[in-house]
Amino acid sequence: MKSQSAEESRIAQLCVEHGLKMTGQRRVIARVLSDADDHPDVEELYRRASALDSRISVATVYRTVRLLEEKGILERRDFGGGRARYEATEGGRHHYHLIDVDNGKVIEFEDPEHEELMRRVAERLGFDFVSMRLELFGKKRPQPVKETKAPARARKKKEAGS
């Protein structure tokens, strides 16, 4: 969560800068996206947006995320599970995702030197770096008995942590 004030959300501002028409529903979706600090899929976005304003249809959410992705305001992610997930494009620093293969939980991490490395790779291949996507899959290493915490070994099928 970020601003939450009555003023225009960060994403709404970007929409304006890109010359998009700011309708009521688009403003709501923009706020939901601006406030999200996870990686919601369309259904989840629809749920959150509906809570703020019930006059919104899923089709609009789909249309909006597609539009914002084309404009480079949003980035689509695929963490497995069939549905596309979205998160706001970050200006400078990129962050990456480590997915726990046992429960699908997503952990974010940064690695400053990484983007620079990728820029060089792209350049070496004759390309200008546009964007990147990095997903690391790992298995939680059994901690060397740190404290008294329940193991909690689950194995849900669908919908894992965002």
| Residues of each annotated binding site for Fe cation | 94, 115
Q: Which does 133 bind (CB under 5 to 8 A by kind): DNA, a copy of itself, none?
A: a copy of itself
Q: Does 9 bind DNA (CB under 7 A)?
A: no
User: Would you call 123 helix, strand, or coil by DSSP?
Assistant: helix
Binding site for a copy of itself (CB under 8 A): 76, 78, 80, 98, 100-101, 107, 109, 111, 114, 117-118, 121-123, 125-141, 143
70 neighbors 81 (Cβ within 8 angstroms): no
Q: Rounded CA gap, 100 and 36, in Å? A: 21
Q: Rounded CA gap, 68 and 33, in Å? A: 11
153 neighbors 139 (Cβ within 8 angstroms): no
Size of the site for DNA (CB under 7 A): 25
Site for DNA in 120-159 (CB under 7 A): none
The single-letter code of the amino acid at 133 is R
Q: Does 63 bind DNA (CB under 7 A)?
A: yes
Binding residues for DNA, rule: CB under 7 A, are 16, 20-26, 41-43, 55-60, 62-64, 66-67, 82-84
